Structure 1
């Protein structure tokens, strides 16, 4: 795939702000024809740059979010812990990382009590040695 240019980046930014923008509106915003924008979007999709179009919920019912920093117990790995984490619907994302922390997990809960219960449940999973909780106070930028 050819490198992204400024127009590709602008299309991506527009879609990140509002994935429901029509091709006509996108074309007008970047100064190209509708068909050219359709071809660019198709190229970005085929290359995996755009993986999906989705809905991001507004602040009307923001859940409580937290990043859990997990360390594995001796002899355990991501392959041992992830199947149990994947069964928990509150687990939104998980990232295997290098360094003192082994796994960074984004979780959502409706209340602080539910977050505490979820954290305890994850801390008790086989293969988890330690959990540090970083509660999200405010989202200041989200380009997902």
Structure 2
């Protein structure tokens, strides 16, 4: 037995809405993953270039060794985020203001090595975003990141 025309139209409309919603969410997710993938690649390249310059003996001031110029490209100037002890220690307020590329670079800095993958990096950033302490203006975000990474740094 066929469904009435009205019921069929409602089902088609619901199906179309579901498909459009899934495409929008999937598109946004794919865009974020692409940004993360490019940021990881760029950060890895910039770090390797800076290390190669130092290995070749190119002159670098002590300030440039502690606060490499390429970090400023990611919004991670160490001079902006130092605590009272002189350590690089951005807070939850800083994290909330950062863009995705900056969050990726900070995650890679704290991790200290290449991440297992783009999806893993995305999950870590979303973990910090959801962590209640990440929303405290004075909470060192590295402590929150350590909790999400599951390893101390």
Larger Rg: 2
Same fold (TM over 0.5): no
| Higher relative strand content | 1
TM-score w.r.t. structure 2 length? 0.25
With structure 1 as the length reference, what TM-score do the two structures score? 0.26
